[in-house]
């Protein structure tokens, strides 16, 4: 007896929505329903009443998109990889850098070495949060639209 196939197409399906507004800088606000893939993210404001959310996405120059158009949300190539690297590797690098500095400054005191490593981890976390909160990396960043 074979195992049933994984239902990743339901979780990671292409997101589609409706354009609500378009700003003068070439970004559109798209209203779409929340899926299981974004259930615990918290990056966008999801309405509790109807389960709908709104994201901002870039409009490519070759697309003629207007308000009330149905669109597909596409991720920019490599954007997700950069975000994962930022969020996972920077705290690791901060921890290692803090441990190295602690080893150099406090060679015979393991408690202070560990404290320096934790300070490095904390500093890397603060820097990561500051970078992610910049508008370039915020809600809907890395998304482009394609008219359906």
Q: pLDDT (tens digit, 9 = 90+) per residue, 51-97?
A: 677 878 888 888 888 888 889 887 766 666 776 777 788 889 999 99
Give residue 7's pLDDT.
41
Residues whose CB falls within 8 Å of the CB of residue 46, separated by 6 or more in sequence, listed in order: 34, 52, 53
The span from the CA of 8 to the CA of 20, in Å, is 29
Asked if residue 84 and residue 65 are part of one domain, the reply reads no
Q: Whole domain around residue 124: which residue ranges?
A: 80-132
In the 3-class helix/strand/coil scheme, how is 22-46 assigned residue by residue? ECCCCEEEEEEECCHHHCCCCCCCE
Report pLDDT digits (tens) over 15-33: 788 899 888 887 888 888 7
Same domain, 12 and 46: yes
List, for residues 39-51, the tens digit of each pLDDT value.
555 555 555 566 6
Q: How confident is the model at residue 14 (pLDDT cuts 50, 70, 90)?
A: confident
Same domain, 113 and 96: yes
Strand partners, 57: 28
pLDDT at 11 over 50: no
């Amino acid at each position: 007896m074979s195992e049933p196939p994984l239902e990743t197409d339901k979780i990671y399906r292409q997101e589609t929505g409706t354009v609500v507004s378009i700003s003068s800088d070439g970004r559109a606000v798209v209203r779409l329903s929340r899926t299981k893939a974004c259930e615990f993210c918290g990056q966008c404001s999801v309405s509790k009443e109807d389960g709908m959310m709104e994201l901002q996405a870039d409009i490519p120059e070759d697309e003629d998109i207007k308000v009330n158009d149905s669109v597909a949300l596409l991720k920019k190539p490599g954007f997700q990889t950069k975000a994962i690297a930022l969020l996972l590797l920077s705290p690791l690098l901060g921890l290692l850098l803090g441990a190295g500095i602690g080893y150099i400054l406090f060679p015979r005191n393991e408690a202070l070495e560990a404290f320096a490593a934790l300070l490095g981890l904390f500093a890397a976390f603060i820097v990561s949060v500051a970078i992610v909160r910049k508008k370039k990396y915020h809600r809907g960043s890395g998304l482009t639209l394609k008219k359906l």
